[in-house]
Amino acid sequence: MKVVTPHYYKDFKCIAGACTDTCCAGWDVDVDRESYRYYKTVKGEFGKRLKSVMVPSQDGECTFTLKEDGRCPFLNDDNLCDLYIELGEDKLCETCAEFPRFINDYGSIREIGIAPSCKTAGELMLSYQNELTFDVKDEPDITIRPNDIDAFTYMQLGQARAVAYEIMSDRSVSIYDRMALYLEYTRQIQKHLDNERDELIINVVKKFCKADYRDGLIERLHQQYSGRKGTQLISGIRHFYDDFKGMEVINTDWNVHVNRVRDVLDGLKDDEKLTELIDTYHRQCRECAHEYEQLAMYYIYRYMLDAVNDYDVLLKSKNAIIGIIAVDVIAAADYAAGLNVDFTMRVDIAHLYSRQFEHSYYNFEVYRDYFGRKRCYSYRFLMKALMSLY
């Protein structure tokens, strides 16, 4: 098997008890079958402690019962893991051993990365200055698992993703125009997926390889979608921060930022004022464009190729566009409220959004549904936001 990782991945190291927002609190700990079977065999006092917090599930796995404050029952007062200390690193369940890593397998290719939901990973990602590249190495000891993905569609989407990287890394174009290109790129690809004409994806790829085509397209998109009327964008973007029934809040700091955004947006009279707010913030924070490029590359790497499973590549680009606009507006609102939106805070905002969106199964599924049917997450609204606000 070939293993692919972002170039900065090799520099990641968990800082354990020194972390300011431990990954061992705020969400359920799902334990895989193999680990569950082993934990049931542990003897002595620690074995009793394990058995007292394991809640079996119908699929042969289990979860740990969290403490009243939402902390894992094995997270001690020093923010260290008693299970790790007692049994060793190799006895951690998959959830704990992998986080904040993610693993995507595509036949003989395994892609591994890290998510900004971990502050240490976020710092590494957002501070990376070079154009992102990927390291590939052979791992003969990893067993290739069978899969039922369509090989032809996989190849088509793989070529499409390579050009998506190229689009997002073109620093001669503003990051917001790059995001608009990516959104339109996936819209055109989606048409062929919907029509079951995967062989035509390559024609879209070839068009977007050409810089002159992309330049002309940006100009046409600006002509079509620029312009601000009333409070359409304000009201639409405000929905990015709506609560919904059963919504999980992984870290209550999320609510602090969201309430501030709502207050700021509610105080704006029209879309022009929102644009002024964002412009003012961007003049103060010139690093935003570079950081958003790295976030966009993360979204493309982690999610775009997964369209081989659900045939919804447009949804993957929406994930990226919405995520970046959401954290940008939070940062701008924080700045407007007089806070010092430095690198540490920007990493924190990205990590809070990632936890809310990516690390709650329930939240993720609700957002997935919203992204597909709500007007504020439509292609047209997102394109108008990119063309008008930036």
pLDDT tens-digit map of 9-21: 999 987 666 677 7
Task: Tell me which residues of the chain have a pLDDT lower than 70.
Answer: 15-18, 26, 228-229
Q: Report the predicted TM-score, pTM, of the whole model to 2 decimal places.
A: 0.89
The token duo for 109 is 């290719």
Q: CA 4, CA 122: separation in Å to the nearest integer? A: 19
Neighbours of 80 (CB within 10 A): 14
pLDDT value at position 42? Answer: 92
- Structure confidence at residue 3 (pLDDT): 95
Give residue 279's pLDDT.
95
* pLDDT tens for each residue of 198-237: 999 999 999 999 999 999 999 999 999 987 667 799 999 9
Contact between residue 276 and residue 116 where contact means Cβ atoms under 8 Å apart:
no
Give the model's pLDDT for residue 25. Answer: 72
Name the H helices within the chain.
33-39, 44-53, 82-87, 94-98, 119-126, 151-168, 175-194, 201-208, 211-225, 232-238, 253-266, 271-284, 288-303, 307-310, 313-336, 343-358, 361-373, 379-389
Half-sphere exposure for 179 (CA within 13 Å, toward CB)? 32
Residue 160 tokens, joined: 């499409």
